[in-house]
Chain A
C-alpha cells in the first residue's frame, strides 16, 4: 500500500522555473490520473528529480532539476504543485544516507570536497554515473559507509572525510508532546513507513492538511495533530493503522516557546492555562487526571509533563478549543470549562478619550490589535466613507484615530490590514469620564418586518389529549 508519492516532498501552489532559456523542461503529459500516477512515472527515472502536477488540467511535467539545482527559482503558481524527490531536497539522512542527493560539499572538518570527476589531489576508483549520483563535489555514500555521506577532500594530506550530515532522527528533537515537531522522519518506531497525510489510503483519517494548516501535516512525516503523547503517523501497513515515531526528546521539559502561562483567564485555546478551575461550565466537578475512573483515558500526567495535568484542574493538553476536563459524572465523559473567562487580547491603551471620543485629537494611530491605521485621505487598502473633505468637523488628520460617525464604542480607524476594514483603537475612556447610563427610561421601539416565526406544522402541538 506504499504510495509512489512517499518518495516526494510537495510544495503546494509552487512552480520551479529554470532561468536559462536554452534549458527546456519536459513536455506536459495530459490526463494523468493523479499526482500518484505522475510520481509513478518520475520515480524510477534516474534523470527525473521532480515534477509539476497541474490539479485542474491533470497535467504532469517531469523535471530533471530541483530547487537546489543552479539557475532555478521557485515561483508562486495558481495552477500547479511541485513535487521533488526527498533525497534531493531533504537536508538530513535516513539510515546511512546512501540515498542522499543533497548539495552539502564540505566535510565535518571544514574541508571543501573534491569533485568526484577529478582524480586530483586524491585519486580514487569512482566514476560518476546517474545510478551512483556522484555529482559535482557533493557529499555522497557510494560504499554505504555507516558513518553516512563523505567525500574526498581537496587537501592532499586528508584523503577523505565524513560530512557529518545529521540523521533526520537527530536533526530535530521533540519538545513537550511534539505538537510543534516539524522534522523529516517518515518512519514509525517499528520501522513501518508513514502514510502521507494528504492521502486517505490505506487508512482514511480526518487530518486533511488543508484543514489543519497550523499542524504542518507535510508529506508523510511524523506529526502530532491530535495532542497525543508524542508524534505519530498512519502507516502504509493496512494491518496497522497508526504508530508512534521514535524521536529524541529535547532537553528539559520546557513549555513550547509560543505559550504564556495564565492563571485567571485563558488566551487562545488555553493551552497555557495553569489556573485552578476544576469544574466544567455546567458546574460538574472534574475527574482527577491521575484517575482512570469514571472515565478511562490516555492523558497520564507523567506523559504530559509540560501540560501540568495536576489534580482535577481544567487543562487543554490536546489542542482543543478551550480548557476542558474529564467529568466526575459517568454519563458525561468530557466538557469544556468555558466559565473561565478569556484574557483580553487587546494591546495596552496608549491614551484616553471623553464621551465617545468625537473630540479626541490625539495622535494614536494603531488599532487595539496593534494594526497600523490607514491614512484618512488614502484609498487603499480600504476605500473610506469618511474623508478629511467629507467630514471636516471630525479633523481626520493623517492616520490618527478619530470618531467621525459618533461610534458609541470610541475612536476608530480604517486599518492597513486588507482583511479588516475598520477597528477600534488602543484608547480607553478617561478615568474621570462617566458615560450616561443606558439603564435610564427605555426608548420607544419600532421594528421593521423581521423576527417573524412561522410555527412549523410538523412542530404544531396536537390539540388532542
Chain B
C-alpha cells in the first residue's frame, strides 16, 4: 500500500505461500470463503498444499501465539468466469468471527457504485517507502464513473471494472495488495465493491486506479458457495 495509514479492516486476509510468506490480499465474504485475484496464483489448478490465509491480525509478520491470529489452510480454489480475474478460495474450516475478523457484504448483482462514493483499500503490500511496512494499511479513495475513467485510460476500462479517482499524491495499492478489498461504506455497511488487481503502474499520481467490479460476479460467488 503506497501512502495511506495504518488501519483496521477485519475482512482483509493475508494469503501465505508454502514458505509462509505473504503474497496477496483477500476478502472474507463467507465464514469459509475468501475472494481474491486470479493474478495471485499461477494456475487454476495449482497444488494448494501449504497455502494458508491469515486473519485477525494487523501485522504482516505476527508473532506465533499473537492473540486473535487465525491461520486456516486453503482447501480448494475456484476460478471465476473468464475475464473476471477473480478466484474464490474455500478454507479448510470456517473462521471464527469476532471483533478482529468480520464478513464483508457483497453488493447486489449488477449494482453500480455512484461516483463520489467514499471507499477504502487495505493491504500489507509494497509501500514504496511510504512507511509502516509491517502493519496493515488502509487508504481512502473516491469512486469515479467509468466514463471519466476512460478519458485517462483511453476506453480500455470494461464494464466489469470500476475506478477510483487519481490523487495528486502517490496513494494506492501495489504488489502484495492484489486480491484485497475496495470496500465502500453504503447504508451503514461496508460493502465489497471492488477487488484490487494489478494496474500498469502502482499508485500513479493523477491517474485513476482500476479494480474488478464485484457486483458483476455476485451471482457467481453465491452459486459457488451454494453448490
Residues of A within 8 A of B (CB): 206, 210-214, 268-270, 279-283, 321-322, 331-332, 335-336, 338-339, 341-342, 344-346, 368-369, 382, 385, 405, 407-410, 419-422, 424, 437-439, 442-443, 445-456, 459
Contacts and interface: CB of A to CB of B under 8 A. Distances in A.
Nearest to A441: B112
Interface residues on B, range: 35 or more
Interface of A is mostly: loop
B103 A451 contact: yes
Contacts of A341: 198
B191 A321 contact: no
Contacts of B2: 282
13 contacts: A281-B175, A281-B201, A407-B220, A408-B220, A419-B76, A420-B78, A438-B215, A445-B107, A447-B186, A450-B102, A451-B11, A451-B102, A456-B8
B202 A438 contact: no
Nearest to A277: B200
A212 B43 contact: no
Count chain B CB atoms within 10 A of each CB in A408, A450, A459 and give the residue with the most: A450
Given A408-B220, A410-B81, 7 more contacts: A211-B49, A407-B219, A438-B159, A447-B186, A451-B183, A455-B8, A456-B99
Given A405-B223, A439-B159, A459-B8, A282 B174 contact: yes
3 closest A-B pairs by CB: A451-B190, A283-B201, A409-B81
Interface in B38-60: 38-44, 47, 49-50, 58
A233 to B, nearest CB: 19
B114 interface: yes
Contacts of B108: 443, 445-446
A361 to B, nearest CB: 21
Given A211-B18, A281-B198, A453-B102, A268 B47 contact: no
A343 to B, nearest CB: 11
B7 interface: yes
A270 B42 CA distance: 8
A335 B175 contact: yes
Contacts of A451: 11, 102-105, 183, 189-192
A122 B203 CA distance: 83
Interface string B74-88: 001010011110000
A313 B36 CA distance: 27
Contacts of B100: 456
A442 B215 CA distance: 11
Interface string B192-226: 10000011111110000000010111011001001
A445 B186 contact: yes
Given A338-B39, A424-B81, A447 B191 contact: yes
A282 B126 contact: yes
B202 A450 contact: no
A446 B187 CA distance: 8
A350 to B, nearest CB: 14
Interface in B107-140: 107-114, 126, 128-129
B146 interface: yes
A213 B47 contact: yes
A405 B78 CA distance: 19
A88 to B, nearest CB: 31
B187 A445 contact: yes
A280 B109 contact: no
A437 B112 CA distance: 11
Contacts of A408: 109-110, 216, 219-220
Contacts of B104: 450-451
Given A344-B82, A438-B112, A452 B42 contact: no
Contacts of A368: 82
B202 A282 contact: yes
A342 B38 contact: yes
B19 A206 contact: yes
Nearest to A437: B159
B199 to A, nearest CB: 7
A450 B189 contact: yes
B223 A210 contact: no
A214 B49 CA distance: 11
Contacts of B8: 453, 455-456, 459
A213 B49 contact: yes
Contacts of A283: 200-202, 204
Interface string B20-50: 0001000000000000001111111001011
B3 interface: no
A206 B105 CA distance: 38
Contact of A443 (B7, B84, B110, B227): B110
Nearest to A340: B198
Given A280-B175, A447-B186, A451-B102, A422 B202 contact: no
A456 B73 CA distance: 26
A31 B175 CA distance: 50
